[in-house]
Structure 1
């Protein structure tokens, strides 16, 4: 029997990436506590070296060989760049400005409190070796972990609100405003973490050139038909991603900046929704797989999986407690009715996607180790899976809060 070529093995890997999570999601009916996107992330972990690789090392090495991984990583990079670009494009801060007092107070409390809780958890954990990457500092790791605990994933929040029927309601729009401001803060903090004092000249040059180019691209987009805008936006995305990575800020920071300077109304809403759904359906599962393949449950010194899982639980407690405490503080300051802060606090627990993208960058830049990355990934999955089960009974008790 002839040996399989790389293309055949690649298609075997792709079949597993797309097929296994879908079958689990559909047959086990996990939608209530784990949307398909969460199952895909868990599937990536299970197909990674910590589970499949540990149990069936020969099979894992055969399917996910360097040539196949090179092809998969290329798809994953472009997929996540397009996804982050759309997230930046869809940010609409006009509504947040209209309700700026309420939005700024809530967004600040919902971000800074879990950030502080997460940073405290990180400060305790990082006393042990094996958690800070070879190119990271203690301060970078603490801030990065703290921010990972504070993140709310705006795309997943929208997905869950649509399923719960509150996306177009006043409550849903309020949460959209809070998460939108926090989304900007996430990328600002990431840029701060990635500041390279040895490459400040490059980073300064990038920011100046980007500002000039953004002004020019906006003027050009206003004069172009929509069909041309779609094509040009992908060229713009690739160019800004390259420039950001060249400067040391990472291509995902560039992808977000490329989207945020464009106006969503330049693109038909229906096409934009279809494009985002296509990304989640067709190419983002490859990113989830590549993320899972980077997990590691063995901390140096032989502490093993129990320590990584313990760290994940520590981060989960810090994240959940911090988010709930921050939103309850905002509710007290703004005079929300009883039970509303709890509902909003649990809805803002969604972390999958954006947080995973965030910690992927930290791992790429070797600010954290793969063990820290694994603990944060498990925390993101756990936090997101808690959202709907904890939210639905609170919605039932409050009816449709915020509609009065």
Structure 2
């Protein structure tokens, strides 16, 4: 049998990326507990070195050559930049400010409680003298603890939007409240990530980035209001690439730049429906490549059971912290019975944003591939729990209201 060229192998990998998860999702009817995006993430893990590479090492090595991986990584990089740009656009900080008392209280408790519990898990792991297995070569203990804690506090705003649509409450007052809480938490989490990534060896570059960022944002916003909507999209793509380049040059990360590129612009300038369609297109056509690229980074070097137990501890901290924090907010703000439980489960979804953060921490060598794998498993599990627990909670809430 003639050997496949690099182009043919790349296209064969694309066939697997798009066909296999879709077949499992559609034929297995997994949408209730595992939406297509979750199946694609799991597919990336299964095609990685820890599963396919261990079971069929020769096939894995044949398909995923360095050239093919480089091609995949290029697409994955642009895909995730576009995705976090849209996540920044979807932040509704104006509404959060309008309802700042209630939103601030809820978001603060929903953020700090799981982050504290996650940090405790990370600290306990360090006390077990297992630092070399979990902390990256360039990571300090405080960065590892803060990074793991932050991972437990994450809510994936773009996936939350999809879930709220699925439950038919996106445009209802309750759905808009949940989006406000998630928006404020997302902003805080990106702030923590930027703090973790501060590089004192390149502090001059980072100071220059911050100094130039403010006038650049002012100029971009002034230009955007003068452009037609169609032209705004073209200019925005240049803006995303430019800010990603500047952030990476400064020692932060290109994803931080891409997020800021969206966060400083108003989503309404681009049209709500158009933004929704653009996000869905990126999810459909590009993000599956990112999921596979992510799966290729998974490793079980610390031992399968150790990674699984770490992931379980993170899941407990995430779920318990989020539900506990929101429950406390519900008591303080005197919410109707059942609301806190529903909101707590809705804010549970981590999926893409946690995976993106974990990729950043791994790229910066703050964490090891073993920690990355545990965070990935936690992201998948928490997202799979969301709809099965939120659906009956919503049903009970409707019953109490009636």
For the aligned pair, the TM-score class normalised by the smaller chain equals over 0.9
State the match for 1:321 in structure 2. Answer: 320
Is 1:357 paired with 2:360?
A: no
- After TM superposition, give the deviation of residue 2 of structure 1 in Å: 3.3
Deviation at 1:400, TM superposition (A): 7.5
Q: Which residue of structure 1 lines up, in the alignment, with residue 55 of structure 2?
A: 55
In the alignment, does 2:195 pair up with 1:192?
Answer: yes
Partner of 1:285: 288
Return the alpha-carbon distance in structure 2 between the equivalents of residues 42 and 244 of structure 1: 30
Counterpart mapping for 1:314-393 below 5 A: 314-393=313-392
Moved more, 153-162 or 220-229: 220-229
Partner of 2:242: 239
Partner Cα separation in structure 2 for residue 261 and residue 222 of structure 1 = 13
The answer to whether structure 1 residue 147 and structure 2 residue 159 are counterparts is no
Cα distance, 1:86 vs. partner? 0.8
2:109 is matched with: 109
- Cα deviations across residues 37-57 of structure 1 (Å, max 9, x unaligned)? 001000000000000000000
State the Cα distance separating 1:119 from its structure 2 match: 0.3
Secondary structure at 1:399 match in 2 = helix
Which deviations, in whole Å up to 9, do the C-alpha atoms of 1:124-159 show, x marking residues without a partner? 112323100000000000000000001010011110
1:248 paired to 2:251: yes
1:274 Cα offset (Å)? 1.1
Deviation at 1:181, TM superposition (A): 0.1
The SS at the match of 1:4 is coil
Distance 2:29 2:307 in 1: 28
- CA drift of 1:335 comes to 0.6
Is it true that 1:124 corresponds to 2:127 in the alignment? no
For 1:179, the equivalent position in structure 2 comes to: 182
Write the distance in 1 (CA, Å) between the matches of 2:279 and 2:255. 17
C-alpha separation in 1, matches of 2:376 and 2:278: 26
Could you tell me how far 1:14 is from its partner in structure 2?
0.4
> What CA deviation, in whole Å up to 9, does each residue of 1:267-302 have, x standing for no partner?
122221111110000000000110111011121xxx
Deviation string 1:324-381 (CA, Å, 9 cap, x unpaired) is: 1100110111011222111111111000001110111000000000000000110010
- CA RMSD in angstroms comes to 1.1
- The aligned counterpart of 1:398 is 397
Partner of 2:92: 92
Moved more, 335-344 or 287-296: 335-344
Cα deviation, residue 262, structure 1? 1.1
TM-score of the aligned structures, taking structure 1 as reference length? 0.97
Which of 206, 209, 222 matches 1:206? 209
Aligned partners of 2:206, 2:77: CA distance in 1, in Å?
Answer: 21
1:217 aligns with 2:216: no
Q: Which runs of 4+ in 1 moved over 6 A?
A: none
> What's the CA shift string for 1:5-42, capped at 9, x where partnerless?
11100000000011111000001100000110001000
- How many residue pairs get matched? 399
